[in-house]
């Protein structure tokens, strides 16, 4: 399975490490626009322009979502071109008849090594043969291939934004509240670990706790008095009402 990997951001670097050790995968070239080196430490050829890419079995685009169409349009028309975006449809690749999606359902940060054997990869393709190729590619890096069409993948991406991005933003606010009142954010880490761990045996609905659930009006009012940012008060009120409406349902 000869690949060219395009993109060297957080996801691109993670995929490079996984493809590098996959027994049946050969990374022929890796495109990093910011690099002027001839090759990686492992001997993979580095290029910084699309015109330098050679023909391969598959081009994997680990690039910004808005760059998918522009970059794919410059690749060979007969090639299998695959993007990695959860929030973009298969049709974002317009010129090639052989197109696909290889979307890891995970958050990627620099200097964090992900265990791909514990994640699923949403795959989609315009042909059965190429879908089989993408299943095999996912298996090569020990991930679970999950066939998702563009609509289901977008829904999965939306759910991931709620579960990860929005949750992390709330943790940023929690850290700032701790700092404002001279408390260590580390005190919350056992609580956060339990919040995730109990989802192994409970649904999120069953795991819900807190003053909003109990309709503890005194605690809710006391919390609001501690908040000095009007925007945070709005967020607090919206989430409180959302929890209570959900319980009513």
187 lies in the same domain as 80: no
pLDDT in tens, 85-99: 999 999 999 999 999
Residue with tokens 């685009």: 61
144 lies in the same domain as 183: no
pTM above 0.85, yes or no: yes
94 lies in the same domain as 173: no
Evaluate whether 56 touches 79 at the Cβ level (below 8 Å).
Answer: yes
pLDDT in tens, 12-68: 999 999 999 999 999 999 999 998 899 999 999 999 999 999 999 999 999 999 999
* 175-214 CB burial, b ≥16 within 10 A, e <16: eebeeeeeeeeeebeeeeeeeeeeeeeeeeeeeeeebbee
194 lies in the same domain as 227: yes
CATH of the domain at 140: 3.40.50.720
Residue with tokens 């991930």: 143
Give the pLDDT band (50/70/90) at residue 248: confident
191 lies in the same domain as 221: yes
Residue 197: give the domain boundaries. 154-248
Q: What is the pLDDT of residue 13?
A: 95
pLDDT in tens, 72-86: 999 999 999 999 999
pLDDT in tens, 160-208: 999 999 999 999 999 999 999 999 999 999 999 999 999 999 999 999 9
Q: What is the pLDDT of residue 111?
A: 83
pLDDT in tens, 128-169: 999 999 999 999 999 999 999 999 999 999 999 999 999 999
225 lies in the same domain as 139: no
Q: What is the mean pLDDT of residues 213-231?
A: 96
Q: How many domains does the chain have?
A: 2
CATH of the domain at 158: 1.10.1040.20
43 lies in the same domain as 112: yes
Listed residues 95, 115, 148: the one ending a domain? 148
Q: What is the mean pLDDT of residues 216-233?
A: 96
115 lies in the same domain as 161: no
Listed residues 78, 113, 148: the one ending a domain? 148
Give the pLDDT band (50/70/90) at residue 217: very high
Integer Cα distance of 16 and 39 in angstroms = 13
125 lies in the same domain as 190: no
119 lies in the same domain as 209: no
16 lies in the same domain as 47: yes
Listed residues 123, 148, 173: the one ending a domain? 148
102 lies in the same domain as 190: no
């Amino acid at each position: 399975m000869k690949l060219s990997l395009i993109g060297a951001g957080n996801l691109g670097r993670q995929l490079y490490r996984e493809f590098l050790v996959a027994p049946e995968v050969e990374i022929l070239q890796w495109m990093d626009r910011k690099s002027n080196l001839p090759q990686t430490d492992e001997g993979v050829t580095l290029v910084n322009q699309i015109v330098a890419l050679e023909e391969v079995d598959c081009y994997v685009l680990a690039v910004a979502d808005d760059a998918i169409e522009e970059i794919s349009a410059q690749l060979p028309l007969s090639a299998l071109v695959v993007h990695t975006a959860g929030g973009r449809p298969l049709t974002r690749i317009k010129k090639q008849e052989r197109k696909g999606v290889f979307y890891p359902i995970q958050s990627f940060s620099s200097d964090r090594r992900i265990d791909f054997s514990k994640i699923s990869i949403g795959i989609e393709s315009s042909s059965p043969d190429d879908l089989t190729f993408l299943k095999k590619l996912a298996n090569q890096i020990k991930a679970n291939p999950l066939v998702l069409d563009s609509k289901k993948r977008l829904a999965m991406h939306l759910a991931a934004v709620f579960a990860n991005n929005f949750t992390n933003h709330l943790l940023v606010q929690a850290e700032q509240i701790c700092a404002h009142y001279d408390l260590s954010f580390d005190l919350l880490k056992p609580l956060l670990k339990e919040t995730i761990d109990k989802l192994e045996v409970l649904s999120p609905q069953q795991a819900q706790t807190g003053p909003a659930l109990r309709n503890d009006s005194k605690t809710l009012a006391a919390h609001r008095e501690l908040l000095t940012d009007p925007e945070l008060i709005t967020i607090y009120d919206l989430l409180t009402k959302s929890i209570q409406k959900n319980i009513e349902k």
